[in-house]
């Protein structure tokens, strides 16, 4: 009998997760099936009850349920607690256990591109939303030389810093967008975690990169479009760029591993996602 897996979010029509996971089940000869369930706000409790009733083996959680799902789980792992959001749930004999694979997935995609160890790198994270929290948690746990958060709404960055006071592996500070732009030359890795660069803001950039150093890595979590305006400007200046496809694939692969104990072929997953997005990757 097929084991059932799914995505719980709203909207989910555009999701590439079913294609990616169903192909992985097929490749590994597993009887698994992954379906995207459109669950509007206010219907989460009923959806989770239904998932339990039908013994869904595991599921992903996306906007707008990543935080509210936490109240409905039996256990939440430490990293997801730190992030304050869950994107992956495993059903172990009726007990629902929540994880967050976004930050780890991001780091797995970034590490092959590094020019020097993360421990010696100064990292600037632009944005202080949900994705930023995942990235900041993973970087703080991994350990970097300096971790700076900048955001339009500075209070949100300060809130993240206050939550991470206990995580000492990173020297964490906050800068305004203007100060971050001014001091950009001191960062080895610059990461956009805002939605600026995505539709409808495809012609906008979250920060001016005039002062970026030539050896920096410029990273953007956005994968649609594959090349944001920010990455385009970076590429024109011969800066190494990194888009969000790797993060999408790796967070999915980590979820797959948690559900099944099997490592999917991430190169193949990447190819499938790129085919859907119809382009090249950097
Ligand atoms: P979110 O929680 O809504 O946070 C949005 C962030 O963008 C905040 O920092 C917000 O600043 C900033 N922002 C939005 N509009 C802005 C504007 N006009 N000017 C300045 N700042 C603006 O969203 P999220 O869940 O963190 O997602 C952020 C991005 O990450 C999205 O593009 C998403 O697609 C991408 N993402 C990618 C992956 C992947 O697998 N590659 C996974 C997760 C997310 P304020 O705090 O000032 O509002």
Q: Are 154 and 186 in contact (CB under 8 A)?
A: no
Residues whose beta carbon lies within 6 Å of some atom of ligand 1: 102, 127-132, 151-153, 156, 193-196, 198, 221-223, 244, 247-248, 251
Distance from the CA of 204 to the center of ligand 1, in angstroms? 13
> Looking at the predicted structure, is the pLDDT value of residue 259 above 90?
yes
The mean per-residue pLDDT over the stretch 170-176 comes to 90
Element housing 146 (H / E)? strand 144-150
Q: Which atom of ligand 1 is nearest to the CA of 105?
A: 40
HEC string for 86-140: CCEEEEECCEEEEECCHHHHHHHHHHHHCCCCHHHCEEEEECCCHHHHHHHHHHH
Q: Which atom of ligand 1 is nearest to the CA of 198?
A: 32
Cα 54 to the center of its chain, rounded Å: 28
Global pTM value: 0.95
Q: How confident is the model at residue 279 (pLDDT cuts 50, 70, 90)?
A: low
Q: Which of 194, 253, 269, 274 to mutate to test the pocket of ligand 1 (most atoms within 8 A of CB)?
A: 194
Q: Which atom of ligand 1 is nearest to the CA of 201?
A: 18
What phi and psi values does residue 25 have, to the nearest 5 degrees? -60, -45
Q: Is 143 exposed, middle or buried (0-12, 13-18, 19+ CB in 10 A)?
A: middle
Encoded tokens for 221: 């979590």
Cα 38 to the center of its chain, rounded Å: 20
Q: What is the dihedral of CA 155, 164, 65, 58, to 10 degrees?
A: 170
Q: Which of 10, 131, 201 to mutate to test the pocket of ligand 1 (most atoms within 8 A of CB)?
A: 131
Encoded tokens for 40: 């509007």
Residue closest via CA to ligand 1's atom 20 equals: 152
Distance from the CA of 228 to the center of ligand 1, in angstroms? 14
Pick the catalytic residue: 66, 169, 182, 229?
A: 66
The Cα 17–Cα 28 span in angstroms is 16
Q: How confident is the model at residue 282 (pLDDT cuts 50, 70, 90)?
A: very low
Residue closest via CA to ligand 1's atom 13 equals: 194
> Looking at the predicted structure, is the pLDDT value of residue 94 above 60?
yes
Is residue 271 part of the annotated active site? The answer reads no
Tens of pLDDT, residues 154-167: 999 999 988 776 55
Helix residue ranges, H only, the chain: 17-27, 44-53, 78-83, 102-110, 130-142, 154-163, 177-182, 229-236, 245-260, 266-277
Distance from the CA of 154 to the center of ligand 1, in angstroms? 14
Distance from the CA of 160 to the center of ligand 1, in angstroms? 14
The mean per-residue pLDDT over the stretch 102-107 comes to 98
Tens of pLDDT, residues 27-79: 999 999 999 999 999 999 999 999 999 999 999 999 999 999 999 999 999 99
The torsion region of residue 200 among left (phi > 0), alpha (psi -120 to 50) and beta comes to: alpha
């Amino acid at each position: 009998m097929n084991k059932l897996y799914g995505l719980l979010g709203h909207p989910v029509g555009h999701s590439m997760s079913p294609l990616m996971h169903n192909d992985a089940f097929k490749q590994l000869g597993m009887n698994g099936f992954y379906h995207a369930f459109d669950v509007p706000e206010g219907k989460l409790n009923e959806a989770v009850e239904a998932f339990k009733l039908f013994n869904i083996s595991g599921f992903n959680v996306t906007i707008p349920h990543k935080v509210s799902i936490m109240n409905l789980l039996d256990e939440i792992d430490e990293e997801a607690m730190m992030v304050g959001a869950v994107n992956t749930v495993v059903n172990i004999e009726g007990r629902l256990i929540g994880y967050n694979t976004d930050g780890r997935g991001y780091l797995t995609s970034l590490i092959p591109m590094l020019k020097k160890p993360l421990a010696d790198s100064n990292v600037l994270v632009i944005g202080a939303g949900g994705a930023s929290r995942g990235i900041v948690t993973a970087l703080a746990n991994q350990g970097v030389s300096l971790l700076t958060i900048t955001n339009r709404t500075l209070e949100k960055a300060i809130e993240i810093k206050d939550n991470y006071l206990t995580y000492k592996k990173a020297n964490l500070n906050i800068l305004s967008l203007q100060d971050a732009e001014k001091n950009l030359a001191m960062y080895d890795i610059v990461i956009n975690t805002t939605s600026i660069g995505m539709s409808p803001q495809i012609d906008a950039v979250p920060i001016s990169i005039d002062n970026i150093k030539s050896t920096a890595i410029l990273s953007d979590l956005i994968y649609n479009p594959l090349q944001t305006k920010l990455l385009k400007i970076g590429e024109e200046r011969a800066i190494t760029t990194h888009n969000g496809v790797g993060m999408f694939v790796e967070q999915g692969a980590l979820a797959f591993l948690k559900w099944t104990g099997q490592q999917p072929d991430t190169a193949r997953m990447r190819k499938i996602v790129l085919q859907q997005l119809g382009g090249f990757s950097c």
